[in-house]
């Protein structure tokens, strides 16, 4: 059995995907956190793209979160992907949808200069969650009673949208009760809860408060005109 080491950044949602799968399968592993603003030379030598996550399996290096998740799923049963090839392909497509929504969420902070721009991005996130919730068809998790790889990919998104809406209400979950139920199930799951550092919410708020503060200031100014 390979010795596994996950290279991580505390706030990275893509690393969290790998962490969820490792925890779901109870795979022994070490985790090492790095500062992405000051990337160590040893990390740059390992990571072809200079990004996390990186999973070291003995001398072999895996990169990209979904490649890592699928490797773990194939080597540590039971599978979190469907056995049927057609449904498995569908799930891979849904994971790409989740990734697009995560990038919209990131852009909300880095590219939204005002409330209007932020709400455009929030609507894109809402559209993805609406599609995913329709595919979920009322099940507790995406594909039934247990976490799937789609849930592992979506959990960081659902968490971050929930945290954002505590700081600035974009109305994402209030208009999507099914997605809100999915969010609640995922965020209450012990596997998901243990997939981050304990102070993740404080770190997230501290990291993004400045960006949301600008959007909030614009909203206040518009309301007072």
Are 143 and 150 within 8 A, CB to CB? yes
- Judge whether 67 counts as a catalytic residue: no
Name the active-site residue from 6, 12, 102, 121.
Answer: 12
CA dihedral 185, 191, 196, 197 (to 10 degrees): 120
Distance CA 2, CA 130 (A): 39
Distance CA 162, CA 101 (A): 14
Distance CA 173, CA 158 (A): 10
Are 61 and 46 within 8 A, CB to CB? yes
**Residue 144: what are its φ and ψ, rounded to 5°?**
140, -135
Give the residue numbers annotated as catalytic, written as ranges.
Answer: 12
């Amino acid at each position: 059995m390979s010795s596994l080491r996950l290279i991580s950044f505390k706030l990275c949602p893509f690393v969290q995907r790998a962490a969820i799968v490792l925890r779901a399968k109870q795979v022994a592993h070490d985790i090492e956190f790095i500062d992405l603003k000051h990337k160590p030379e040893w990390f740059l030598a390992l990571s072809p793209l200079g990004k996390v996550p990186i999973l070291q399996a003995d001398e072999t290096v895996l990169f990209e979160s979904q490649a890592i998740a699928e490797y773990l799923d194939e080597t540590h049963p039971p599978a979190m992907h469907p056995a049927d090839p057609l449904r498995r392909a569908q799930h891979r497509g849904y994971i790409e949808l989740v990734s697009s929504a995560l990038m919209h969420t990131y852009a909300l902070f880095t590219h939204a200069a005002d409330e209007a721009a932020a709400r455009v991005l929030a609507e894109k996130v809402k559209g993805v969650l609406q599609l995913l919730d329709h595919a979920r068809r009322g099940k507790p998790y995406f594909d039934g009673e247990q976490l799937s790889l789609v849930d592992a990919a979506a959990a960081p998104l659902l968490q971050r949208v929930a945290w954002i809406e505590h700081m600035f209400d974009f109305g994402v979950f209030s208009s999507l009760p099914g997605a809100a139920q999915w969010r609640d199930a995922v965020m209450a799951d012990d596997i998901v809860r243990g997939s981050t550092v304990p102070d993740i919410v404080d770190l997230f708020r501290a990291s993004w408060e400045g960006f949301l503060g600008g959007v909030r200031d614009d909203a206040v100014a518009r309301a007072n005109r």
